[in-house]
Amino acid sequence: MRFEVLILGNSSATPMFERHPTSQVVNYNEQLFLIDCGEGTQMQLSKYGIKSNRIDHIFISHLHGDHYLGLVGLVSSMHLVGRKADLHIYGPEPLKEILELHFKYSETVIRYQIIFHPTNPEKEEVIYESRMLTVSSFPLIHRIACTGFRFDEGKRAATLIAEKVEELKIPKVFFASIKKGIDYEDPQGNKYPACELTLPAPESRSYAFCSDTVRHPIYLKSIEGVDLLYHESTFLHDMVDRAKETFHTTSLEAAEIAKETHVKKLLLGHYSARYRTLQPLLEEAQHIFPKTELSVEGKWFLV
């Protein structure tokens, strides 16, 4: 099953040096989720070959413009291209009023249903759940109410041993039950334990998105042990005072957080417009946490 993240925008408040405000797509088994929706998101979706009407769930971390000002345009375009499926939007409660005001004064009647789910900036909550994926929101510490999001994969099925299945000529109709641990019995009454026909199930995977936040222990348990952590890294650490003043994080702090929470890989992002070259942020983080990468627009990152 695919589980990967496409970076659409990795800049902070000001889009600079061909970098766009925050936005990214999570692809879980061909189900697409959008996280944040800065200006230009719908253009970035088009640029990288993502059809917006494949997105049924949008998560907005907070109401600073570089994280949501592209939302009205995206939602309106979905309307114009004939969307009919429900669209679920998760975000701060005032976002519902913002959307309604835009549509009221533009005299726009959206032809599909928008289902709004207010997030809670005070505690961790499950906000989406399917058979194989759970999404939780958790509090971050920013100048205004802000949440992060964690995607957790459910228990994965075991893998069939193809050679044994072919040798025994087991019909495909039994594959799913064998993967679930149910023994197979052939027409002659011979029983074959599922554990002898399968390899152990792959480990479940997880992804956490930490939007704008000052370094704080409140969210560390929420990101503990994830396979991939995206964490804002607006400044180099020589500007740590400025980071604290603006409720942001340095690349060094992001690396220390990744190390402390035992994540497998760190992805930096939300770069300040003051940095044309990003290599210094990467090097600063890798000195603390070697398994760090720069988020790059248009690149897919495996979870």
CB 189 within 8 Å of CB 262: no
Burial of 19 (0-12, 13-18, 19+ CB in 10 A): buried
Low-confidence ranges of the chain (pLDDT < 70): none
Check residue 88 and give its pLDDT.
98
Q: Are residues 9 and 105 in the same domain?
A: yes
Check residue 1 and give its pLDDT.
84
Considering the candidates 66, 152, 186, 227, report the single residue annotated as catalytic.
Answer: 66
Structural domain boundaries, residue 291? 3-156+202-302
Check residue 261 and give its pLDDT.
98
Q: Are residues 8 and 99 in the same domain?
A: yes
Last residue of a domain, one of 167, 199, 231: 199
CA distance 283 to 130: 38
Q: Are residues 79 and 174 in the same domain?
A: no
Tokens of 227: 């396979």
Check residue 229 and give its pLDDT.
98
Element (H, E) at 228: strand 228-232
Burial of 49 (0-12, 13-18, 19+ CB in 10 A): exposed
Annotated catalytic residue 66? yes
Q: Are residues 24 and 141 in the same domain?
A: yes
Per-residue b or e along 103-121, where b marks 16 or more CB atoms closer than 10 Å to that residue's CB: beeeeeeeeeebeebebeb
Q: Are residues 52 and 137 in the same domain?
A: yes
- Per-residue model confidence as pLDDT tens digits over 186-204: 999 999 999 999 998 889 9
Q: Are residues 216 and 272 in the same domain?
A: yes
Check residue 39 and give its pLDDT.
95
Q: How many domains does the chain have?
A: 2
Q: Are residues 277 and 298 in the same domain?
A: yes
Q: Are residues 124 and 170 in the same domain?
A: no
Element (H, E) at 159: strand 159-160
CA distance 286 to 282: 6
Last residue of a domain, one of 199, 228, 263: 199
